[in-house]
Structure formats: C-alpha cells, structure tokens
Amino acid sequence: MKPIISFQQYSFRYKSQNEPTLKNITLDIYAGEKIWIAGPSGSGKSTLAHCINGLIPFTYSGEISGSMTIDGLDPATLSIFELSTKVGTILQDQDSQFVGLTVGEDVAFVMENKAVPRPEMKAKVISALTMVDMLHNIDQSPYDLSGGQKQNVSLAGVLSTDADVLLFDEPLANLDPVSGTRAMKLIHDIHVQSGKTVIIIEHRVEDVLQEPIDRIVLMNQGEIAAVGTPDDILSSGVLRKYGLRPPLYADAIEYAGISLEGVKGLSVPQQLAIPGLKEQLDAWTREVGENESSPTYAPLLELQHVVFGYDKDKSVINDVSLNVGVGEVVALLGNNGAGKSTLSQLITGILKPQSGRMIYAGEDISSWSIRRRGERIGYVMQNPNHMITQHMIAEEVGLGLKVRGVAADEIKERVEHALKVCGLHPFRNWPVSALSYGQKKRLSIASILILEPKLMILDEPTAGQDYHHYKEFMDFIRGLAAQGLAFLLITHDMHLALEYAQRAVVLSDGKVIAEDTVASVLSQPEVTTTAHLKETSLSLFARANDLDKPERLVHAFINYEKEKGHE
C-alpha cells in the first residue's frame, strides 16, 4: 500500500534558527489512518504539521533536506489552493484562522470558495454548528466568542471540507471536559464515516485516548522518539521518559507496585483485567492515607452581587458573589461560555460592572484604574498572543517593570529570575516569534509574575503544556501560595483543580452554581452536568474496579505525588 503522507530522512531548519527543528524524520502515514502526534512542548509537533499542510515552505521558509510527499507529490510543487484540497487544518491559534464576520459565514467559507449552492450550504452550516452545539451563536462575531466557543467553530469549519487528510493541532485546547469528549467523538465519527486520514496533535493524553487511535507518533527534540499502538506506548513507559503524563490510572497502577509491561487495553480504564488489581490498589491507598483538613484564609478579594452584560439587556455575569483568601488557590470552573474570562476582566478593571461591589484587602476598588489594580492583581489571559506586544523575549518579560520606571539593572536581574522560573531561560535572547505556543504561554505568565502581584488570575495556565512544564509550574504556584500569593485558577483540567486548589467556584450561565472543595463539587451530578465538568479517570477507574472506598484513590494519588515531589 502506498502511503498518503511520506517523510523520508526529512529535516527542516527555520531560516532564523541555527539548528534544524525537525531532524531525520522517516514516517509513512497511510490513507484512513488515525494518528496522534504527541511530544513535549517545543518538540516540533506543530512544525511537522506545517510541513503537512504547506505552511512550510509557503509561509515559513527555511532549509529542507530529504523528502516529503502528499499523495505522491512534493507539496512545494502544488499551489496553496491545491494543498488545501488535500489537507484541512485546525490551527492551534484560532484567531488567526477566522475569515467570516459571523460564525455562520466562517463555517460557510470553504464551501463559498467551491461555489456550493446556497440552500445546500445553509443546511451544511446548520448541521455542522449543531454538531458542536454552537447553532445559537450563528450570527455572533467569531472574535466575540469565548475561547472554547472559538475552538468549537474551528471544528465545525473542518467538518465542511472535502480534504482527504484532516489535521488537528490541539483541537481540545480551551474546551471544557464535556466539549472535549464530544470533540473527540466527533473526530472519531468523521474518521469512521468518511474514511479520511486523521492526524491529531494534542497534549491532553487521556482525552485523546477516549476514542481509538491507530498509531501514536512520539516526538522529542525534533526527532521521532517512538511509534506504536496505544498499548505499545502506554505499557512501555516512554511517555514519562519524554516528559508526558501517562493516564492517571496507569500511574496509579504503577504506584501501587504493579508492572504495566505487556498489559493490553490500557486506554480503556474501565475494562482493565489485571489479576489482584483491586486488592493491591486498596492496600496501597490505605498505606498512603487521606488528605489533611483544609486551612482557613484571611480575606483578600471579595465580589458582591456583580452584574455585567456586553449588551445592556443580556447579562453574562449574573449576581456573582465570591471571595479569595490570602494564599488561597481557588479554581474557577465552568463550561465554555459560562463567563469565566468575562469575570476576570471585571476583576482586573478591563470591563466595568453594571452593578455590584469588589473589595480588595478591605477597600472598595470600583474607582481603581486598570494600572493600579494590575499592581496587585495579575491576569494571564488564555491566548498568549493576546498579551504579547514586544519583539524580543527579555523585553516582553521586563516591559511591566520598565513602564513602572524600575532601574535597568534590577529589571535585568528580575527578568533572568522570571525566565528561569518559567523554564524559558535557554531562550532569553530569542525573538518571541520563534517560540512554540506552549512556550509563549509560559512567556505571558513570566511577564505578569515579575510584577509580584498579591493575587493572580491564571486562565488555563497549563493548556498546551507538557507534563514536565505543568508539574514544574504548578509546584511553583503551590510554593508561591504557601508564601501568601493568592490564585484564581481557571481550568478545564479537573485533576489539576483537585491537586492544587483548596476550593472551587463553579460558574454556569454567569451564575455561581456551587462553591465547595473540588472533590465535593465533582461529586454532585447536577453541578457537573450543568457546568460540563467531569469526574477524573481516577475516580472512574476506582469505581469500575470496585475499590473499597473509591474516593480514597484520588486522595492517595495526590498525597503520594506530593510526597514524591518532596523527595
């Protein structure tokens, strides 16, 4: 069988780089295959995708050696239009991809180019938007959507292309857990029904594995580190070797002393047949023990009955009251479009509430300027490209100090420190444009952290990060919290919330629908259903294996990892 995509001894060096980003890639992908490209942040996944969809060499120039073909043809000999009929792409940064004035127009764009008759086009657009639960936003501008809603529109756009290869670069980034599951199911259905070749680049290991994958291609430092079926990859320990997090239940099994070597069906935790599994897990969870009780916190930020709407007659934030204590980590959870980013912009003063009060350290901050708030309350947005303004990395990190008149020597020292903390020190002399998405995300965090705020609002800080950086960063956050810095953490990662947040506030349709410990919130079906939350694979796994006290596995797991981190 002839491959649809073939890389032979392929290397690529971006013009601005000294070293090649892709090295000696030899990989055949066959028509109808479903491939997951995994690998740590900066390993070259998106660059490989750019080679497949023609961005390399058309948009990003550089030096190529070896060969790469699509359907037997060299992409450099095709026009960008011809290539787009072969490969349909969802990019990591959707803002750069929208072309329509409304959501409907955007989804219709591909068909308009092909002169599909109007009635047929309309029906297709409606059907695609219905599949991603976005029909009610059809007339809205794509730029006014929430992060997750944008992602859903991009998915709907790809549904209407005729390309044989569908390439998804982080299709789940920004999606709430329920939408993430739905997106994977949607991709699976398209794959089965159309027989198209599907290539997925994604950091959310467990979410990708919810549906069958033919082969995983694991990249590391521009090379292919391993290729295999999910069973091959999961049971071999290579994910961890390259800084990725295996599924939580797979780790739990190993922590309890059971080897995964040769175990089949590892991507379906509910059906794992390992002799003695229950007994060994029960014994391990008893040994590791329960969580300590949660401490109390002095008040820092308090919101009282805050109301806001982008249109006067439609509230997006509806009578929200919540508080965050000194040194407390509060998870702000909720479905896509619930109002989490809007609330963050109200707290930071970018938006003005129609009514309600905000109290910071006992003072009403309604009259405070954005800048004054910014000195105490740092806000890291979901999309790093919305925050970055400077050309060079060090300048970007030092900008906040520069505008505040801090001396150059001190700026230099603090920039170095912030870059180290965020794992960006090796790139300190680079232009921002040469960073991968995950690296840019860390950059936007570094540039706020350097201002030493008392409260930080982090919108999906770990989205697009590999486990190594996730852990390093979140442990760092935990350390800062222990020193008294407070965090409002917006996340769609339920395990992250369980692991790092003392409390959760759940938002849905602009209202607070629950406020409790994360574990308690996740155990309330009416809350999880309304806010699109999901129990973690660990608790699913614990129940499927009939553990004596299923909830104890989650606590034992978190305690064990905390202890291990301190070793």
Query: Contact residues for ligand ATP (CB under 6 A)?
Result: 14, 16-17, 21, 39, 41-47, 60, 144-149, 174, 176, 310, 316, 334, 336-342, 382, 433-434, 436-439, 464
What's the min distance (Å) between Cβ of 112 and ligand ATP? 24
Cβ nearer to ligand ATP, comparing 43 with 285: 43
Please give the Cα distance from 52 to 12 (Å, whole number): 12
Please provide the DSSP assignment of 279-310 as one string. HHHHHHHHHH-PPPPPP---EEEEEEEEEE-S
Cβ nearer to ligand ATP, comparing 343 with 547: 343
Whether 277 and 258 have beta carbons less than 8 Å apart is answered as yes
What's the min distance (Å) between Cβ of 447 and ligand ATP? 17
Cβ nearer to ligand ATP, comparing 436 with 528: 436
What's the min distance (Å) between Cβ of 278 and ligand ATP? 37
What's the min distance (Å) between Cβ of 94 and ligand ATP? 11
Cβ nearer to ligand ATP, comparing 447 with 462: 462
Cβ nearer to ligand ATP, comparing 17 with 366: 17
Cβ nearer to ligand ATP, comparing 388 with 401: 388
CA distances to 8, 208, 339, 468, 556 from 553, rounded to whole Å, are 46, 23, 32, 23, 5
Cβ nearer to ligand ATP, comparing 42 with 353: 42
Residue count (the chain): 567
Q: C-alpha angle 184/189/195, rounded to 5°?
A: 120
What's the min distance (Å) between Cβ of 436 and ligand ATP? 3
What's the min distance (Å) between Cβ of 42 and ligand ATP? 4
Q: For the chain, give me the number of helices (H) and strands (E)? A: 23, 19
Residue 468 phi/psi, 5-degree rounding, is -55, -50
- Token couple for 342: 């809007």
Cβ nearer to ligand ATP, comparing 42 with 423: 42
Please give the Cα distance from 537 to 270 (Å, whole number): 9
What's the min distance (Å) between Cβ of 275 and ligand ATP? 38
Please give the Cα distance from 417 to 387 (Å, whole number): 20
- Token couple for 505: 């506030």
What's the min distance (Å) between Cβ of 388 and ligand ATP? 14
User: DSSP character for 246?
Assistant: P
Residues 6+ apart with CB under 8 A from 316: 308, 309, 310, 339, 342, 510
Residue 8 phi/psi, 5-degree rounding, is -125, 115
